[in-house]
Amino acid sequence: MKILVPVKRVIDYNVKPRVKADGTGVDLQNVKMSMNPFDEIAVEEAIRLKEKGVATEIVAVSVGPQKAQETLRTALAMGADRAILVMTDDEVEPLAVAKILKAIADEEAPGLVILGKQAIDDDSNQTGQMLAALLGRPQGTFASAVTVEGDSVTVTREVDGGLETVKLAMPAVVTTDLRLNEPRYASLPNIMKAKSKPLATKAPADYGVDTAPRLKTLKVAEPPVRSAGIKVADVDALVAKLKEMGVA
């Protein structure tokens, strides 16, 4: 079985984003970028399935600028077999990404598509669901456990009320949650090997997809600064203060 793993290049989760002075977006100049953490979990899960003998090949895919090659090389160093970069400098929206991934899935015919439930830059949480709908495949979102048995995959999902377990006929689409696994670090030998693994470069036009945005960002602003707290001497003073503020 082949597994397709889409990955996205985003601002590193340890970096505090800065808004551009003109308010048109987030400043990406001289900012550390890395693989989206949820996608990193997806790559790790695909590798574990391959180590169990369930999968035979892992194909990593990214839609983004030339520098997204670094993100794909990270996936290759972790254990992916080959990679595809759909290169564009446009800010691609989830629907366009899903359409590109559908075209790639049609070509590659993977048994599973595993991707992060959302990207930490736009938090859309849409691509996996849209991809499943376009492909007409069953989906298991927010996965905290994935088990492949024959021609089906059992996914334990994290939902508001606790956990839900679904059994999907493959081919299927799975999106990963934080508690699914702990991604491995790429070793130096594997980082060196990744440089020789195949990485194909395509364009959205190769898949007949128009990446023109359907949404327009009007303004981006920092959240308001939280006001300082107030210290009170005792419980009576706290109650009095709450009444004064109209809370109690």
The answer for residues whose C-beta is within 8 angstroms of residue 61's C-beta and 6 or more apart is: 4, 5, 6, 7, 83, 84, 85, 86, 101, 104
CA torsion sign for 100, 91, 174, 197 is: positive
Q: 66-107 pLDDT, tens per residue?
A: 999 999 999 999 999 999 999 999 889 999 999 999 999 999
Cis omega (within 30 of 0) for bond into 183: no
Q: 141-174 pLDDT, tens per residue?
A: 999 999 999 999 999 998 888 899 999 999 999 9
Q: Give strand pairing partners of 145.
A: 156
* Helix boundaries (H) for the chain: 37-51, 68-78, 94-108, 127-135, 188-194, 235-245
Q: 1-13 pLDDT, tens per residue?
A: 999 999 999 999 9
Query: In this structure, how many other beta carbons lie within 10 angstroms of the beta carbon of residue 132?
Result: 22
| pLDDT number for residue 223 | 84
CB–CB of 108/57 below 8 Å? no
| pLDDT number for residue 34 | 94
**Which DSSP string do the residues of 52-86 spell out, in sequence order?**
TTS-SEEEEEEEE-TTHHHHHHHHHHHT-SEEEEE
Q: 27-44 pLDDT, tens per residue?
A: 888 889 999 999 999 999
Q: 201-243 pLDDT, tens per residue?
A: 999 999 999 998 888 888 888 888 888 888 888 999 999 988 8
| pLDDT number for residue 226 | 84
Q: What is the gyration radius of the CA atoms in the chain, in angstroms?
A: 21
3-class SS letters over 4-15: EEECCEEECCCC
Residue 248 pLDDT exceeds 70: no
Q: What's the mean per-residue pLDDT of the chain?
A: 93
Separation of CA 186 from chain center: 19
| pLDDT number for residue 228 | 84
CA torsion sign for 88, 93, 99, 102 is: positive
| pLDDT number for residue 143 | 94
Distance (Å, whole) CA 178 – CA 42: 10
pTM for this entry: 0.86
Domain that holds residue 144: 2-245
Residue 237 sits in a domain whose CATH number is 3.40.50.620
Separation of CA 134 from chain center: 18
| pLDDT number for residue 115 | 95
Give per-residue burial for 171-191: e unless 16+ CB within 10 Å, then b.
bbbbbbbeebbebeebeeeee
| pLDDT number for residue 241 | 87
Identity of residue 232: V
Q: What is the mean pLDDT of residues 172-185?
A: 94
Distance (Å, whole) CA 201 – CA 190: 22
Number of domains in the chain: 1
